[in-house]
Amino acid sequence: MLPINNDIALSPTLALAMALMRRPSVTPDDQGCQALMIEHLERLGFRIEQLPYGEVENFWAVHGHHGPVLAFAGHTDVVPAGPHVHWEHPPFEPRIDDDGMLCGRGAADMKGSLAAMVTAVERFISAHPDHPGRIAFLITSDEEGPAVDGTRAVVELFRERHERLDYCIVGEPSSSEQIGDVIKNGRRGSLGGELQVHGVQGHVAYPHLARNPIHQVLPALDALTREHWDSGNDFFPATSFQISNIRSGTGATNVIPGELEVVFNFRYSTELTHDQLRKRTEAILDAYEFDYRLDWTLNGEPFLTAEGELIDAAVAGVSKITGRRPALSTSGGTSDGRFIATLGAQVVELGPLNNTIHKVNERVCAADLDELSSIYEAILAHLFAPSATAD
């Protein structure tokens, strides 16, 4: 059994994970997490480029000088813990409990992955100091928040200066029941809409003198929910339309509202573009002839790494360490992989179990993080030291 809160006896991965978790780095306040990672990477000879934007801390680190680039990508920010009284243990005082679970905010999402990445690279470079290719880190403190001044901004900088990025492993918690059982090889696109319907406020006893925006919009919303957008494909489920908020009225029972706001979201496959979704939505709304304004927000295009060297390496790495072949999946929400994929990189997400992320009492099996570090190391070896992986 691992001792509770005793870093001296912990593996390097767990010691680093707990050191990161002690820093309450709620978006976008990095709280020194990146400085700690940079300290480890500088000792290995990484060249560090710090890229702050506004209140957001980002850094890009590279080891090696030639050949393809494999980047480990992740975020040091975490979501708020909420009232600490609801936690079994203080959320920013990490500990390993009697069941071998590392408990605390960021254990799964995603400081455990960050630590596993660093220690994997430490071991790999120690064994292969003159490895071919380049190993990189792209780390931000703005993934859980607006995600504007983080990876998105760095990717735009890379685009301007034609920065090469061939492979990327995002450390998001991808696993479902066992470490490494699921690799995310793509994500659906996310398109949000805010619909404002303009009516005429009035007294409920005189409806002929008013125009109720709720009554007007309901048939259109029903049509949108019933629309068959696509059937998906071999990699993606069918596109989903979901209404997340409806706001209207003054709170009084005798007042017809004058305005209504509907917030909705599409999670869409590669069968459609965001332009097609916009045009089809607006055509449905226009058919019902009411006064509206519609504002769109494109949160991310769908991306897919269907095959290639990175998928081969990730599957081989998981299989070598766990003895199990992982499933490939595009389910779940968005990640910073959506920005990185626009550079033409092969992108996968591979991390610990995701069953407690963003929850009270977030936790991950401590032994899983050491196993994850070994998986990352095996992927590096498959790509940059293939002779070492030969049976």
**Rounded Cα–Cα distance for residues 40 and 374 (Å):** 18
Tokens standing for 264?
Answer: 């909705």
The DSSP annotation for 307-363 comes to SSHHHHHHHHHHHHHHSSPPEEE--S---THHHHGGGT-EEEE--SB-TTTTSTT-E
Q: What separation in angstroms does the CA of 185 have from each of 17, 181, 337?
A: 25, 13, 10
Tokens standing for 70?
Answer: 């494999």
**Beta strand 240-248 with 303-304: parallel, antiparallel or unpaired?**
unpaired
291, 198 Cβ separation under 8 angstroms = yes
**Residue among 269, 196, 270 at smallest CA distance from 239:** 269
Measured N-to-C along each axis, helices 213-226 and 274-286 cross at an angle, to the nearest 10 degrees, of 130
Beta-carbon contacts of 375 under 8 Å, excluding residues fewer than 6 positions away, are 120, 179, 180, 317, 318, 321, 322, 350
Q: What share of the chain is helix, strand, coil (3-state, %, to 5)?
A: 35, 25, 40
Upstream peptide bond of 101 is cis (omega within 30 degrees of 0): no
108 CB-contact burial (10 Å; exposed 0-12 / middle 13-18 / buried 19+): buried
Q: Which one of 109, 143, 149, 370 is the catalytic residue?
A: 143
Question: What are the residue ranges of helices labelled H in the chain?
Answer: 12-21, 33-43, 111-127, 151-160, 213-226, 274-286, 309-322, 337-340, 366-384, 386-389
Query: Is 307 one of the annotated active-site residues of the chain?
Result: no
Q: Which one of 30, 77, 109, 166 is the catalytic residue?
A: 77
Rg (CA), the chain: 24
Query: Is 143 one of the annotated active-site residues of the chain?
Result: yes
**Rounded Cα–Cα distance for residues 201 and 185 (Å):** 50
Kindly list the catalytic residues.
77, 143
